[in-house]
């Protein structure tokens, strides 16, 4: 469900200032292919890494490919703080200075505003929690992949699309399956005591806030088809073995209880 390099290349016929690639559900986008497109077009690529802490391609981590990498440390993320927080990575010194100005009132030096800014500093408590949790990130991600593998095995042979591949580029922030029988599947899982969610029910270009903007005219048939089929089941490192078995059992039983095709 990530950005297509071929489709990105097809729409770069009009002036575009930048491209933003979201590593959705913990799966890294195909950055080598995307960067080949953006480099040829002479525009920067920004990585949205909010769901991909610790993911990598060829050993190169998310957040180190694009001109900027943007991370969220909201508590539900693979690396989460106690409250809100975030970080921006870049190897561009000018942009690094600009981000630092923006996060603190636009200060170029103490009490001197060079440009518009805001108060977006992460407080020390959040930083301390993140510092304590960071050494555990790789192990937590491995546990998430392990859970994802159990779920995929339980769904093998069923008319359900599961996450493709469980390698280093996937940190299983969310385990999202796809089925044309989502209503029936969701009901069956609920009856088995398994909660589900939809990430996300409304595409950005169909949100009310986008009305009257160029985004509202976007033609994104793949996205619009997907929102009617995606379904998220519990997948996080803190799940206990018994809970994982319950979810896996309910997923395996779908082939017997629900016409998923």
Average pLDDT, consecutive stretches of 10 residues, N- to C-terminus, the chain (261 residues): 95 90 98 98 97 98 98 98 96 96 93 91 95 98 98 96 96 97 96 97 96 92 96 98 98 74 48
Q: What are the residues facing 176 on neighbouring strands?
A: 232
Give the number of C-alpha atoms closer than 13 A to the C-alpha of residue 8, restricted to the C-beta side.
23
Q: What are the residues facing 104 on neighbouring strands?
A: 119
Do 208 and 128 belong together in one domain? no
Residue where one domain finishes, among candidates 108, 135, 162: 135
Do 113 and 185 belong together in one domain? no
Do 145 and 112 belong together in one domain? no
pLDDT of residue 14: 78
Task: For residue 54, give the nearest of 147, 133, 152 by alpha carbon.
Answer: 133
pLDDT of residue 260: 45
Do 98 and 167 belong together in one domain? no
Q: Which two tokens stand for residue 186?
A: 């969701």
Give the number of C-alpha atoms closer than 13 A to the C-alpha of residue 59, restricted to the C-beta side.
0
Do 228 and 173 belong together in one domain? yes
Do 123 and 160 belong together in one domain? no
Do 141 and 128 belong together in one domain? no
Do 52 and 70 belong together in one domain? yes
Cis before 200 (ω within 30):
yes
pLDDT of residue 40: 96
Give me Rg for the CA atoms of the chain. Answer: 20
Enclosing domain of residue 228:
137-257
Overall number of domains in the chain: 2
Q: Give the model confidence (pLDDT) of 227-240 as tens digits.
A: 999 999 999 999 99
Do 62 and 150 belong together in one domain? no
- Domain of 62: which CATH number? 3.40.640.10
Q: Residue 48 — φ and ψ, nearest 5°?
A: -95, 100
Q: Residue 105 — φ and ψ, nearest 5°?
A: 65, 5
For residues 191 and 83, give the distance between their C-alpha atoms in angstroms, rounded to a whole number: 33
Q: Give 240-248 contacts, CB < 8 A, sequence gap 24+.
A: 244/147, 244/150, 246/192, 246/193, 246/194, 247/151, 247/194, 248/150, 248/151, 248/153, 248/154
Do 130 and 67 belong together in one domain? yes
For residues 198 and 233, give the distance between their C-alpha atoms in angstroms, rounded to a whole number: 9
Q: Give the model confidence (pLDDT) of 46-80 as tens digits.
A: 999 999 999 999 999 999 999 999 999 999 999 99
Do 70 and 60 belong together in one domain? yes
- Domain of 218: which CATH number? 3.90.1150.10
Residue where one domain finishes, among candidates 107, 135, 163: 135
Residue where one domain finishes, among candidates 135, 155, 170: 135
pLDDT of residue 114: 84
Do 227 and 190 belong together in one domain? yes
């Amino acid at each position: 469900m990530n950005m297509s390099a071929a489709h990105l290349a097809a729409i770069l016929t009009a002036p575009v200032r930048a491209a933003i690639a979201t590593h959705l559900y913990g799966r890294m986008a195909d950055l080598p292919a995307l960067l080949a497109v953006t480099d040829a077009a002479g525009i920067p690529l920004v990585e949205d890494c909010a769901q991909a802490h610790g993911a990598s391609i060829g050993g190169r981590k998310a957040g180190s490919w694009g001109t900027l990498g943007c991370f969220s440390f909201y508590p539900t993320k693979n690396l989460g703080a106690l409250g809100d927080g975030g970080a921006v990575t870049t190897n561009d010194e000018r942009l690094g200075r600009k981000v630092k100005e923006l996060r603190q009132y636009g200060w170029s030096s103490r009490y001197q505003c060079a440009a518009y800014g805001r108060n977006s500093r992460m407080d020390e408590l959040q930083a301390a929690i993140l510092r304590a949790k960071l050494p555990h990130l790789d192990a937590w991600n491995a546990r998430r992949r392990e859970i994802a593998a159990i779920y995929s095995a339980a769904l093998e042979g069923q008319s359900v699309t599961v996450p493709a591949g469980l390698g280093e580029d996937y940190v299983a922030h969310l385990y999202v399956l796809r089925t044309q029988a989502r209503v029936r599947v969701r009901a069956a899982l609920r009856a088995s005591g398994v909660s589900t969610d939809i990430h996300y029910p409304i595409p950005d270009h169909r949100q009310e806030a986008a009305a009257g903007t160029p985004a509202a005219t976007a033609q994104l048939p793949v996205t619009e088809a997907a929102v009617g089929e995606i379904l998220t089941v519990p997948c996080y490192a803190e799940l206990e073995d018994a809970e994982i078995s319950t979810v896996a059992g309910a997923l395996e039983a779908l082939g017997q209880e629900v016409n998923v095709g």
